[in-house]
Amino acid sequence: MSDTIFTGCIPALMTPCTAARTPDFDALVAKGRELVEIGMRAVVYCGSMGDWPLLTEAERQEGVARLVAAGVPTIVGTGAVNSREAVAHAAHAAKVGAQGLMVIPRVLSRGASATAQKAHFSAILEAAPTLPAVIYNSPYYGFATRAELFFDLRREHPNLIGFKEFGGGADLRYAAEHITSHDDSVSLMVGVDTQVVHGFVNCNATGAITGVGNALPREVLQLVALSKQAAKGDAKARRLAAELEAALAVLSSFDEGCDLVLYYKYLMVLNGDTAYALHFNETDVLSDAQRHYAERQYALFRQWYTNWSAEQC
């Protein structure tokens, strides 16, 4: 089984919203195509960035089917409040020809139980045995997948080929030290925008799943490329990667908060992508202060990046 889909830089797509506050699938597909044409390896849909809790099962699956039909390499998020629905999303992904799965832990019901999570993960992996899959580890889902459980699952399900780590620097270190270094064929995906350099340089990551990369795709692709060079010992690349990551720090930090989709959709609007102006819940809006802060930080980064890029020429 090939695991090449879990390499490079992969944006977690947001779901554009119509005036009726329903998914705008045409805009979703257009953005997926645009990002892949720029250089992204694939897209993830529907993870937290895609607002999976706010969409119906049918809406999520229509978005997946349209992306795949448009030729966009697609990794499907399996987030659900029950295993039956998660299994349905995995089976649908395999049926329509998606390229991979991002397996999300069971939430709300018995979410802290390792036994329940193993059964949940197993059911999803069994539903799509031909699709390479990574487990999504995030403190926001209330369960930390550790090495023993991961390798128990991997022995039973060879399509489990990696780990997406959203828990931050210490959790990335744990994944590298106890999971991916135990088996070189296991992929580690950096799952939080603030930890790209650390993930590649110190944790042997194979790729990054990005939120801010929706709004700043070329800049994040450059950060990933520099980080990969730095991981080979390139001193200049390491310095430049650190400078770029530091300049992105505030914008990347939006990825760590509960308003991440609100912020990144707003950055898309600042780019001129009006399809991202609305949210599915009318009350889901940034405050005036949050918008002003985002505007200033975005303008500051863009000015810095223009000057910094000119220095490299």
- The active-site residue out of 136, 141, 266, 298 is 136
Q: Which two tokens stand for residue 82?
A: 């029950």
Q: Nearest 5°: CA angle at 199, between 198 and 202?
A: 65
Write down the catalytic residue from 31, 164, 228, 265.
164
Task: Please enumerate, as own/partner, the contacts of 171-177 that have beta carbons within 8 Å and a separation of 24 or more.
Answer: 171/137, 171/139, 171/144, 172/198, 172/199, 172/202, 172/203, 172/205, 173/202, 173/203, 174/146, 175/137, 175/203, 176/202, 176/203, 176/204, 176/205
Residue identified by tokens 């399809």 is 275
E strands present in 12-99? 43-44, 74-77
The answer to whether 164 is a known catalytic residue is yes
Burial-class residue 274 by CB neighbours within 10 Å (0-12, 13-18, 19+).
Answer: exposed
The answer to whether 40 and 8 are in contact (CB under 8 A) is yes
Contact 262, 291 (CB under 8 A): no
DSSP 251-312: HHHGGGSTTHHHHHHHHHHHTT-GGGS--SSTT----HHHHHHHHHHHHHHHHHHHHHHHHH
Task: State the sign of the Cα–Cα–Cα–Cα dihedral 200, 203, 207, 213.
Answer: negative
Alpha-carbon distance of 56 to 283, in angstroms, equals 19
Does the annotation place 179 within a ligand binding site? Answer: no
The token duo for 81 is 């409040």
Detail the residues annotated as belonging to a binding site for pyruvate: 209
Active site residue ranges: 136, 164
